[in-house]
A = this chain, B = another copy of it.
Amino acid sequence: MHRAYNFSAGPAVLPVEVLQEAAADMLDYKGCGMSVMEMSHRSKMFQDIIDTAEADFRKIIGIPDNYKVLFLHGGAHLDFAMVPMNFQQGGTGVYINTGSWTKKAIKEAKKFGKVCVAASSEDKNFTYIPDCSDLEFPEDSKYLYICENNTIFGTEYHKLPNTKGLPLISDVSSNFLSRPMNINDYAMIYGGVQKNIGPAGLVIAAIREDLIPTEELPTVPTMLQYKTHVDGGSMYNTPNCWSIYVCGLVFKWILANGGLEAMAKRNEEKAALLYNYLDNSKMFHGTVVKEDRSVMNAPFTTGDKDLDAQFIAESKKANFENLKGHRSVGGMRASMYNAMPKAWVEELVTFMEDFEKRNLK
């Protein structure tokens, strides 16, 4: 069996143990005579799968009962519209603009009501996180929205904004379960699972229940109302059962491997390996200001397009996959989510050192 050093930004590497278990149970899940893909979502077997996944998710982060945990279709892009449709309610949605995802979220929010962009790092191509310690918010502000880790630009909030009492809504797609978090700092967290948790096509959200509209919203599609999915126990319609199942296996893997403290420790070690090398390299450099660097996604470049292209081509031959950077940044990007072994980052740094030696003029 061949395994590539897969540095994809998402969908991304999953724990080998999880893949092995999913393969082993493919035709006959725990003796029930069916694949998880073939089970009625109304069956006791699947109810156990989703209940266990929710319980483990709550346990990993430490989410109390006054937050609803939802498994939703569509990826975070659907929530870009759902958040304002459910929470703007005639007031203003306040956004911090730190890259592609918040730009898209802002675009959706403007369709349904008032928007205030309280801070932005667009002036420097999103290479930093704006100072959010003392921002001004309109009086009718309903929530403060951030994207906590910016996959494309490689920035991450290492300190949350001063919300001045506004409910904080955070898109955590690309640093989901990468480090401990205090859920009480947030009114809502949500993320597409395909970066750090499981197969694409699923969002997991935790929403403080006082935030969720208690009545149906007559002009909002039923599927875009969080209330629908709360009332339906995330099964108003058939959910992405397979993804929920695999996410559940990943939750077990996180718990068995020390939880978020251990994930954070290993993630920091991996990031330090790469960033330390970048800071000392005469060829490669990171594109983000040091204090706002993401632990998950590290964009870097040689500053020379041809050399970047040569590096990407040679890395592919050496078993590294998906190191090409996003088109909005250029260069390279190494994504190092929970499931990535530290050894792969060591391999990458060794390869970069060798490449630098061979090509530095």
Contacts and interface: CB of A to CB of B under 8 A. Distances in A.
Q: How many copies of this chain?
A: 2
Interface residues of A, number: 71
Contact of A243 (B12, B33, B74, B201): B201
Interface string A1-40: 1111010111111101001101110111001111101111
B27 A26 contact: no
9 contacts: A13-B34, A20-B27, A33-B321, A77-B237, A108-B222, A111-B219, A200-B240, A201-B241, A221-B224
A237 B75 contact: yes
A240 B37 CA distance: 13
Contacts of A198: 37
A8 B46 CA distance: 13
Interface of A: 1-4, 6, 8-14, 16, 19-20, 22-24, 26-28, 31-35, 37-41, 43, 73-78, 80-81, 85, 104, 107-108, 111, 192, 194, 198-202, 218-224, 236-243, 246, 319, 321-322
Contacts of A78: 73-74, 221, 223
A346 B4 CA distance: 47
Contacts of A200: 37, 41, 238-242
A34 B1 contact: no
Given A200-B240, A238-B200, A243-B201, A223 B40 contact: no
Nearest to A201: B240
Contacts of A38: 6, 8, 11-14
Nearest to A21: B26
Given A26-B26, A201-B239, 12 more contacts: A4-B32, A6-B34, A10-B40, A11-B37, A12-B40, A23-B24, A73-B201, A77-B222, A199-B242, A200-B240, A201-B241, A201-B242
A84 to B, nearest CB: 9
Contact of A223 (B6, B74, B194, B220): B74
B23 A2 contact: no
